[in-house]
């Protein structure tokens, strides 16, 4: 699959992209919302030095992949000009060295649409290949800032790292299937 690309670079869906982190994300996700107001279903920090939205990628219900966290003008989302992962803010205390993907929606009673699932699987497959990650591995994550450690699956949900319902019970139950699909190439 080669390098990871977003079908919707940030400049196309958010004309007010801020390199200095000044863009404010104000509203919960609504399918009918204008593209420039597209954001995940929970608030993110604002005016931080990481450039706006807290995820590296966002996937909408139609399966369109959006570039999230600004990482430069090199055309390679989520990575700096040297190919290193940029730090975002997708799960407090576990951001450095980890990549965040937001499926837009609430998945407590039903899962994402098939188009979103398929895009998620394609994106994760490309990313694990690019970074040499075992999608079924358990790892001990060590926060490089404060030394906090936690054992988690490489592909996991917010609730594996902090107290939250995210990514919703239905989507959480689908994570093992995602890990298997990514590992086997199906």
CATH number of the domain that 44 lies in?
3.40.80
Structural domain includes residue 2 = no
Count up the domains in the chain and report the number.
1
Does 3 fall in a domain? Answer: no
Residue 11 confidence (pLDDT): 59
Q: Is residue 107 part of a domain?
A: yes
Strands 138-142 and 65-67: unpaired
- DSSP β-ladder status, 101-103 and 57-59: parallel
Range of the domain at 17: 10-184
Q: What is the pLDDT of residues 94-115, one digit of tens each?
A: 777 788 888 888 888 899 999 9
Q: Write the pLDDT tens digit of every residue in 27-86.
A: 233 344 433 344 444 334 444 444 567 788 889 999 999 888 777 777 778 878 888 877
88 domain residue, yes or no: yes
Looking at every residue in the chain, the average pLDDT score rounds to 74
DSSP, residue by residue, 111-126: ---HHHHHHHHHHHHH
Residue 51 lies in a domain: yes
| pTM for this prediction | 0.74
Give the pLDDT confidence of 124-155 residue by residue, as tens digits. 999 999 888 899 999 898 887 788 888 989 88
Q: Residue 176 falls within a domain, yes or no?
A: yes
pLDDT computed for residue 136 by the predictor: 93
Looking at the domain assignment, is residue 5 inside a domain? Answer: no
The per-residue b/e assignment along 154-178, b for 16 or more CB within 10 angstroms, e otherwise, is bbbbbebbeeeebbbeebbebeeeb
Asked, for residue 43, whether it belongs to a domain, the answer is yes
């Amino acid at each position: 699959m080669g390098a990871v690309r977003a079908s919707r670079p940030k400049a196309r869906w958010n004309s007010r992209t801020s390199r200095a982190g000044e863009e404010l994300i104000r509203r919960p996700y609504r399918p009918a919302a204008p593209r420039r107001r597209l954001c995940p279903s929970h608030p993110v920090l604002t005016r931080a030095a990481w450039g706006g939205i807290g995820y590296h990628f966002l996937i909408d219900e139609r399966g369109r992949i959006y570039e999230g966290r600004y990482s430069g003008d090199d055309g390679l989302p989520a990575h700096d000009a040297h190919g290193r992962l940029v730090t975002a803010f997708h799960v407090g205390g576990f951001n450095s060295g980890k990549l965040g993907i937001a499926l837009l929606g609430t998945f407590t009673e039903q899962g994402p649409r098939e188009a979103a699932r398929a895009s998620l699987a394609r994106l994760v497959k490309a990313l694990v290949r690019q970074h040499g990650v075992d999608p079924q591995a358990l790892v001990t994550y060590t926060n490089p800032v404060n030394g906090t450690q936690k054992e988690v699956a490489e592909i996991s949900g917010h609730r594996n790292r902090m107290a939250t319902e995210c990514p919703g019970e239905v989507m959480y139950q689908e994570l093992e299937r995602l890990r298997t699909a990514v590992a086997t190439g199906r």
